[in-house]
Structure formats: C-alpha cells, structure tokens
Amino acid sequence: MVLDDLGSSLRGSLDQLRGKSRLDEEDVEDIVKEIQRSLLQADVSVDLVMDLSEDIRQRALDEEPPGGTSARDHVLRIVYEELVDLVGESTDLPLEDQTIMLAGLQGSGKTTTAAKMAWWFSKKGLRPGVIQTDTFRPGAYDQAKQMAERAEVEFYGEPDNDNPVEIAEHGMEELLDVDVLIVDTAGRHALEETLIDELEQIESVVEPDRNLLVLDAAIGQGAKEQADRFDDAVGIDGVTITKLDGTAKGGGALAAVDRTDSSIAFLGTGEEVQDIERFEPDGFISRLLGMGDLKQLTERVERAMEETGQDEDDWDPESMMDGEFTLHDMRKQMEAMNNMGPLSQVMDMIPGLGGGLKDQLPDDAMDVTQERMRDFEVIMDSMTDDELQNPRSISKSQIERIARGSGKEEEQIRELLEQHKMMDRMMDQFSGMGDGDMQRMMKQMGGGGGGGGGLGGMGPFGD
C-alpha cells in the first residue's frame, strides 16, 4: 500500500478510541495531536496540517455522533471526510478519443507513465498509442519502446532523429487510427527555457486535449511550486504523481497539488506497467484508513476474470469460503490474483484488511510470481485428483513420486504445500469475517453480472 506509514499511524491513532462511547476534550486533543504528527511526517505542509486539525477538533466536539455510532467510527468518518477534502479532486479524464501530452522534470517518470497510462486506457477498451519525442536523454527511445511492448500498445519514435517536433508530426501521421494518443516529452533537470520552448513547439503540433505534469512523489510539498511553475509556463490540466511506493512524503505531494489550480489524474505505484491507478480521492483515503475500496477491487477482479478466461461459474467463493480450499481452488486463485496485481495492493481494497490480516501474513504470502506459478502448475499436473483435493494428506513417499514425475525438487513440492496452507489459512480468516463485507463482496463478485455486481458505488461506510 502506498503511504503505508501514514495509513498505519492514522489507523493506530483511531484504534485508541476503540471501546469509547463518548469523547471528551482530552480524547479529541490526543487524536488531533497524533494526526498532526502523522501528516507532518508525510511532509504535508504545516499550515495545511493546522487547518485540517482545527476542522477535525471542532467537528469531533461539536457534532453529535449519529445514533449507534461508536466514538471511533464518528471520528473516523470526520477524519475521512477532511482528508478527502485535503487531497482534492481527480482530474476529469473522459474515456474517449483524445491526445495527452506529458511534461515533467528529468527522471520524474514520464516515459514509464506514458506506457502505464496507455496500458490503463487499453484496459478500458480504448486503443492507445505512445509517441516518444525525447531526443535529449540517450536510451529514451529504447526504454519507451520496451515499455510500450510490455504494455502491448502501439508505439512511435525515431531513434536517429534529434528533432522532437518532427517526430511528433510523423507520429501523429503514423498513429492515425489510435483513440488515445500519449505524447512523451524530454525532461531537463530544471524547468528551463529550452524545455519550455520544446514543449511549446511540440504542443503546437500535437494540439493536446490535455497536458499532464508528471512529478515524483518524493518532492513532497515541493509539488506545489513545481506544479505552479509548469502551469504558468505551459499550462497543465492535471498531475500524475509517480513513485508513491518509494517515499513516505507522498502525502505532502498529494495535498500540495490541491493547492494549485490543478488536480490529480493518476498515481504511479511501481515500475511495472500495471502499477498505476486512477486517482479517486474517496477510495484512496478509505484505503489509507483501512476501510477498503470495493470499487477498485471489483474492477481488478473483473479484469482478472477476463484475462484468465474465468467467468463467475468458475469463481466459486462459496466453496473457498466454507473450508474446502483445494489445490484446484489455489490454482484458480493464483491465476486470478496474478492478474489482479500484487496482493498487498489487492488486500488494501478489502474492507477491514488494510492494516489487519495483511500484517499477520509473511510478506510473500501470496506474492506468487509468474515463475513460481508455472512451477506449481507443473507440479500440480503430476498429482492425482485425490492429492489435489486433499493436499494436507500427501505423504513423504507421495512427495518423492510427485518430484520424480514433475522433474521438480522435493523442496519445491513442500513449498507448494506450504503456500497452500498459508492461502487456506487466509481463506479461513475471510470466512471468519462472518457475513461482513468480505463474504458479501466475494459472493457479489462471484455473482458478477455487469458492473461488478452492485459493489461499484459502495463507499467506505456503505450506502
């Protein structure tokens, strides 16, 4: 989860209110001080933190908790609403034909983000293409081409042409049938005249529907100054904040953008093309506070089912939920999980798991890489149906036979059985959630039926 430090400290502060039915001034003061500390550590600017905490303080003292609401949930809702307000709006980004130009300083993540955005648009059913006009940095063309191939999207560049405007013109002609054109540009160490001139020339040729600034989350609250300067120079319609997975200062960057005339379009959360998410303030903050984000999770499950060719008939959460978690189920689960993205991100979207079960499992509990997945599938192909149905009863001699049959080491067979035990335990935890969000969610996701089975609009506190 990005901003993990901020999220876990906020959740920790709120957990101190568990069991309290009423809040006195001292309780409110304690929680406000904790929240201030957490936000300052995330590099949110002091004035923003002071404004936010005054709002939380006043609302927590003045507003009556709705009937039956615990003190913790009352403050949680207030903190949630105030943080959503702090990080501001999401950039309007219609799913239609458009041209997007990316700008940003050297190393901010433009080239990576161009491929990520193209991948994201392709998953929305559009036909994206990337034009790489960076002739400033050696190797930019090769990197961009490779990233576009990984994203499986169309690409145009000219490795031997040092005129970015010409490349842009040729690219526009070449990628005529593309719906969403993403134009990557060169960076510089600073927003200098040469960069501004180049951006203006490219802009005059591609006539973008929107300019997105790509900035590195590590600059924290410095994002305000950078966004303001790029906006003054070339005009920006939105910001993509990259590398949120690599910094604790991302909170400051998110909050800073809201103090410009701009808004946030996407978040970059890793180096792979799938490590991108559309910025949705409510979902982002509810995940941060451990309230899950069913909308994003449903999208991922639907995408995973498309990619694994599974439909709701295959995905039978009932059998997994009532303890019959076999190796057949594990195989389906891993295929789907591998298509949903890293489990640490997926689990944060499951209500109540944000900071809970995830912390109890070993880091790689479900980090089943493609390679391990393939090994596991070869091993499972050497198992009898009875062994697949009852993996816990597999004996040492059976392990030896499976190892011989699959050509894998006995240790790998044991690793598969260990992985199954961990996933089985996780399923027990899910089923232990009673008729809470998880069972309802799994059933509705399994029941699918267009638009994620009605989970789409469910906010963090239910509708």
Ligand X SMILES: Nc1nc2c(ncn2[C@@H]2O[C@H](COP(=O)(O)OP(=O)(O)OP(=O)(O)O)[C@@H](O)[C@H]2O)c(=O)[nH]1
- Burial class from Cβ neighbours inside 10 Å (0-12, 13-18, 19+) for residue 254 reads buried
* Residue in the block written with tokens 């709006």: 89
Residue 300 known to bind ligand: no
The whole-angstrom separation of Cα 66 and Cα 269 is: 37
DSSP state of 90: B
CB of 43 to ligand X, least distance (A): 17
Candidates 16, 62, 80, 35; CA nearest to 281 is: 80
- The answer to whether residue 242 forms part of the interface with ligand X (CB under 6 A) is yes
Segment near ligand X (CB under 6 A); pick from 91-99, 270-278, 333-341, 443-451: 270-278
Residue 260 known to bind ligand: no
Segment near ligand X (CB under 6 A); pick from 102-110, 152-160, 228-236, 432-440: 102-110
Residue 187 known to bind ligand: yes
**DSSP readout, 304-370?**
HHHHHT--TTT--HHHHHTT---HHHHHHHHHHHHHH--HHHHHHTSTT-TTTHHHHS-TTTT---H
Among 7, 65, 88, 104, interactor with ligand X by CB under 6 A: 104
Alpha helices by DSSP H, 175-222 = 193-206
Among 159, 222, 235, 246, interactor with ligand X by CB under 6 A: 246
Among 49, 79, 93, 140, interactor with ligand X by CB under 6 A: 140
Q: Using CB under 6 A, count the residues that bind ligand X.
A: 22
The whole-angstrom separation of Cα 75 and Cα 84 is: 14
Q: What are phi and psi of 129, to 5 degrees?
A: -150, 150
Segment near ligand X (CB under 6 A); pick from 121-129, 134-142, 161-169, 279-287: 134-142
CA distances (Å), 386 to each of 327, 393, 422, in order? 10, 9, 20
Among 263, 269, 274, 333, interactor with ligand X by CB under 6 A: 269
Among 69, 70, 98, 106, interactor with ligand X by CB under 6 A: 106
- The answer to whether residue 108 forms part of the interface with ligand X (CB under 6 A) is yes
Residue 242 known to bind ligand: yes
Q: How far apart are the two ends of the chain, measured CA to CA in Å?
A: 25
Among 11, 77, 110, 224, interactor with ligand X by CB under 6 A: 110
Q: Which is nearer to ligand X, 5 or 29 (CB)?
A: 5
- The answer to whether residue 187 forms part of the interface with ligand X (CB under 6 A) is yes
Q: Which is nearer to ligand X, 36 or 242 (CB)?
A: 242
Among 65, 164, 208, 268, interactor with ligand X by CB under 6 A: 268
Q: Where are the beta strands (DSSP E) in 168-323?
A: 180-184, 210-216, 238-242, 264-268, 276-278
Q: At what angle do helices 4-15 and 71-87 cross, to 10 degrees?
A: 150
Binding residues for GTP: 104-111, 184-188, 242-245
Which residue ranges make up the site for ligand X (CB under 6 A)? Answer: 104, 106-112, 134, 137, 140, 143, 187, 242-243, 245-246, 268-271, 275
